[in-house]
Amino acid sequence: MPPEHWADLDPDQRVQRVVDLGLPRFRAKQLSTHYFTHHSSDPASMTDLPANSHEWVSALLPPLLTEVRRLETDRGDTIKFLWRLHDGALVESVLMRYVGRVTLCISSQAGCGMNCPFCATGQAGLTRNLSSAEIVDQVVRANQVVARGELGGKRRDDHSADRVSNIVFMGMGEPLANYKRVVHAVRTMIAAPPDGLGMSARGITVSTVGLVPAITKLAAEDLPVTFALSLHAPDDELRDELIPVNSRWKVDEALDAARGYFDTTGRRVSIEYALIKDMNDHAWRADLLARKLNARGRGWVHVNPIPLNPTPGSIWTASDKAVQDEFVRRLNAAGVPTTLRDTRGKEIDGACGQLAATDED
C-alpha cells in the first residue's frame, strides 16, 4: 500500500498525528484547510506555518499521484488523466465540464477483478485496491486543474462550477470490492471543511456490478450517495456472460438489493445498461426489464441506457440508433423513467469502459 496520507485518517487521528509530532493541535486544522479547502500539498505555499514545517508537512501529505499523461478533447471540456502511483501502478480519471456542474469520473482500484468482457479495464485483471487518499487525491488534483482554468468549455455566466461538483465511481475498478476505503473516501469527500471537501453526497454516484451483501451494507451507512447498478441484461442467461459475478448473485437478487437501497435511503437508484448490438438490445429484453422493475414497485428507479463504447479487440459494437430509441421508448411506455446517457470522451478513449491505463500509446 502507499504511504499513509492525511486523507487516509479521520479528523481525530489527524489531531493525534500532529500531537505525536510535538506540534500544537491547531496545526491539524491548518493542514486540513490547505489540503481540503485550498487543494494544496505544497509546503512552500503554506505561509501560515513556520518556516521549518516543510518536513512534517511533506511526511503527512506525501505525493500520491504523478501525472503521466493528459488527453483532452478538442474543446478541452473533457480531460483524461493517467496517474502513476507510488509503486508504478497506473490509474485514470476523467474530468468533464457540463453547464452548471463539473463531473469527475474516478477509479477505486488499479485494474479490476470483475472481468466483464465488454469493458477495457476488465481485460487486464486487478492490480490492487487504491487507498482512501489515492481516491480522494484524484478529486483534489482535479480541483487544482479546474482552479487553474485548465478545463475548457466554461461559459462566462457559469459561476457554479469552479470546482468538481459531481463524482462518479465509474473509472477503473469495482468500488464495492474495495469497500472500506471507498466508504472512507466518500466520508472525506462529504465532510464539512476543513475536515473534508464539503461535497454533497447526492452528487456522488457509486456504481457496482452488483455485489449484493456490499449493497445492503452501503445502504445502512447513512450516506445518501446515489447508487447505480450495472445490470446490462434482465435475464441470467445473458448476464452470466456479460457480468461474470452474476454466477454468484443473480439478476433478481441484485434488483432486490437495489430496491432495498431505495427503501433504506429514499434515494432513487439508477440501472445502467450498455446497449450492445444484437446482444442485449432486443425489444423483449426491454419489456422483461420493465416487468422486473415494475414488479418491485414504481418510482424507485430509473434506467440509463448508454450505447456501448467499443473497446480494442472486442467484436461487439453499439446498437443502432433506431434500436436504442425503441429500447428507451418501450421502458418509458411501461412507466419506467428511462433516459439515454450521453457519452463523453470517446475520442480520447475516456468514455465508460475504455479506461485501460497503458503507458505506451
Largest CA distance in the chain: 69
* Cα–Cα nearest to 360, from 67, 68, 112, 76: 68
Q: Which residues are catalytic?
A: 92, 352
Q: Is 305 in the site for ligand SAH (CB under 6 A)?
A: no
Closest to ligand SAH by CB, 178 vs 265, is 178
Among 7, 142, 212, 274, binds ligand SAH (CB under 6 A): 274
Closest to ligand SAH by CB, 40 vs 78, is 78
**Closest CB 119 distance from ligand SAH, rounded Å:** 3
Which one of the spans 40-48, 204-212, 216-224, 263-271 is the region binding ligand SAH (CB under 6 A)?
204-212
Q: What's the rounded Cα separation, in Å, for the pair 114 and 196?
A: 30
Q: Is 209 in the site for ligand SAH (CB under 6 A)?
A: yes
Q: Which residues of 12-45 are buried (b: 16+ CB within 10 A; e: fewer)?
A: eebbebbeeeebeeebbebbbbbbbebbbbebee
Question: What residues contact 72, with CB distance under 8 A and at least 6 apart?
Answer: 78, 79, 80, 152, 348
Closest to ligand SAH by CB, 43 vs 234, is 234
Among 102, 106, 164, 170, binds ligand SAH (CB under 6 A): 170
Question: What residues contact 234, with CB distance under 8 A and at least 6 apart?
Answer: 251, 285, 288, 289, 292
**Residue indicated by cell numbers 465540464:** 97
The answer to whether the CB of 251 falls within 8 A of the CB of 239 is yes
Distance of alpha carbon 110 from the chain centroid: 13
Among 17, 197, 353, 357, binds ligand SAH (CB under 6 A): 353
**Closest CB 145 distance from ligand SAH, rounded Å:** 22
The SS3 call for residue 108 is: coil
Q: Is 309 in the site for ligand SAH (CB under 6 A)?
A: yes
Among 61, 306, 331, 336, binds ligand SAH (CB under 6 A): 306
Closest to ligand SAH by CB, 98 vs 154, is 98
Q: What x/- string results for residues 77 through 116 when contact with ligand SAH is judged by CB under 6 A? A: -------------------------------------x--
Among 119, 186, 225, 289, binds ligand SAH (CB under 6 A): 119
Q: Is 352 in the site for ligand SAH (CB under 6 A)?
A: yes
The answer to whether the CB of 353 falls within 8 A of the CB of 118 is yes
Q: Is 265 in the site for ligand SAH (CB under 6 A)?
A: no
The answer to whether the CB of 311 falls within 8 A of the CB of 348 is no
Binding site for ligand SAH (CB under 6 A): 114, 118-119, 169-170, 174, 207-209, 230, 272, 274, 306, 308-309, 311, 352-353
